[in-house]
Each structure stands twice: as structure tokens, then as C-alpha cells.
Amino acid sequence: MGMNLLRHGTLVALLLAAPLALTACDNKGPAERAGEKIDDAAEKAADKLEEARDKAGEAVDDLRDKADEAVEKAKEDNK
């Protein structure tokens, strides 16, 4: 989990730093355009990772709820 947060934090830092580096140049050459494409791809990847993390969290919550319900039912059945 810590490694994912580190990767996510690093990605966010790179995404925030990239526009600052690109504002220094008015004329966009091939390297700048390629950099923008990489930035866009990185941003999309970060969004997908965040979505996946949220879905995984929801799935864990659902499983926890089902396990709690099963334990309660088992307790009631043993009374």
C-alpha cells in the first residue's frame, strides 16, 4: 500500500511540475509535443489507478459487510 502511495505521489508531483517546465517555451517543438503526450498519458493512468483503488476499496467494504452478516447469522442459528 505504501509503495502505491509513493508511486501515486511521485506521479502527481511530475504532473504538477510538467506545466511549469513547459511554460518556459513559447514555440513547441517535437520534444515538447511528445512531453505533452506523455503528461496526458500519465494523467490518464493516474485517473485509472485512482478509479481502480476506489473500486477495490468498495469491494473490500462489501466483503466485510457480507462477512459480518454471515457471522451474525451463524450466531443466531447457534442460539
Whole-structure pTM value = 0.52
According to DSSP, residue 29 is labeled -
Distance in angstroms (rounded) separating the CA atoms of residues 63 and 61: 5
Three-state SS sequence of 8-27: HHHHHHHHHHHHHHHCCCCC
pLDDT score of 61 more than 60 = yes
pLDDT score of 3 more than 60 = no
pLDDT value at residue 26:
65
Q: Please report, as a single letter, which amino acid is at residue 7.
A: R
Average pLDDT over residues 46-60: 95
pLDDT score of 52 more than 90 = yes
Query: What is the percent of the chain with per-residue pLDDT over 70, rounded to a whole number?
Result: 68
Helix, strand, coil fractions of the chain, as percent rounded to 5: 85, 0, 15
